[in-house]
Structure 1
Amino acid sequence: MSLVDGAALALELSGAIEVPHHDRRAFKVSRIFASLPRDGLTMNVGLAPEEQAMFCRNSAAFSPANGAWGKQGWTVIDLAAASHDEVAAALELAHARA
C-alpha cells in the first residue's frame, strides 16, 4: 500500500474531501476521519477504541497513536506493511464514525 493508494481509498468514500490540517493532508466528511503525516509512510485513522484494539491485535501494520489521541482510538497504519483490504476496512470504519 502506498501513500497515493491510501489517499485514493479515503477519497473514494461517500462525501469525503481532502483538506489541509496543520502539517498534514486530512480527509473528512463532517469531521476528519484520516490524515497523512508528512513522513509519507503512515496514515492515521480515527477508530473506536475497540476497533483499534482489533486491528492492532490482528496486524503488525497497526498501532495506537501516541498519548491521548491513541487512547481515543486514533490509530497509525504503516502503509508499507498494510494490505489494501486492511486499509480499506479501517478507512470505512473511520469514515462511518465521522
Structure 2
Amino acid sequence: MVTIEDFRKLALSFPNTTEEAHFEKTSFRVNKKIFATFDEKNNHAVLKLNEIDQSVFCASSEKIFYPIPNKWGKQGWTIVDLARVRPKMFEDALQLSYQNVTPRKK
C-alpha cells in the first residue's frame, strides 16, 4: 500500500518537480508537464508510461495497473490502485513516468 504522503514524498524527490492542482486531483509536474496525478476519492494514481512499460506493468498486475479506458489510456496514461500496489513497484513505475516527461538531454 502507498499513502498519499509516500506518493508526495517520492514524487517531490525528483528534480524540478512541483505539486499543483489539476481539476479535482493533485498533479505532480516537471517543467509544467504532468507525470502523475492523485485521485483522493478513489485512492488512485495515474502515471504516464510508455507503451512497453504500460503493457509490462498491466500484464504483471492487472488488478493494480490498468490503462485509463479511453484515448488517454492508449497514450500510456495508467491507473494505479494505491491500496494494492507494493511500494517498490510503485516507486519503479513513478520513476519511469517521471522519465517519460523529462526533456531528453542532447
TM range (shorter): over 0.9
Partners of 1:3 and 1:42 within 8 A in 2: no
Q: Map of 1:27-42 to 2, 5 A cutoff?
A: 27-30=28-31, 31-42=33-44
The answer for the alignment partner of 1:63 in structure 2 is 66
The answer for the alignment partner of 1:94 in structure 2 is 97
With over 3 angstroms needed to count, the CA separation of the structure-2 counterparts of 1:38 and 1:80, relative to structure 1, is closer
Distance 1:4 1:14 in 2: 18
- 2:37 alignment partner, SS class: strand
Identity of aligned residues (%): 32
* Structure 1, gaps ≥5 residues long: none
Q: Map of 1:8-23 to 2, 5 A cutoff?
A: 8-23=9-24
* Structure 2, gaps ≥5 residues long: 102-106
Picking from 54, 57, 61, the partner of 2:56 is 54
Which structure has the larger Rg? 2
**TM-score, with length taken from structure 2:** 0.86
Give 4+ residue runs of structure 1 displaced > 4 Å after superposition: none
Distance 2:69 2:15 in 1: 29
Measured on the aligned residues, the alpha-carbon RMSD in Å equals 1.1
The answer for the alignment partner of 2:76 in structure 1 is 73
Shift, 1:38, TM fit: 3.3
Distance 1:45 1:84 in 2: 15
**TM-score, with length taken from structure 1:** 0.93
Distance 2:8 2:66 in 1: 19
- 1:35 alignment partner, SS class: strand
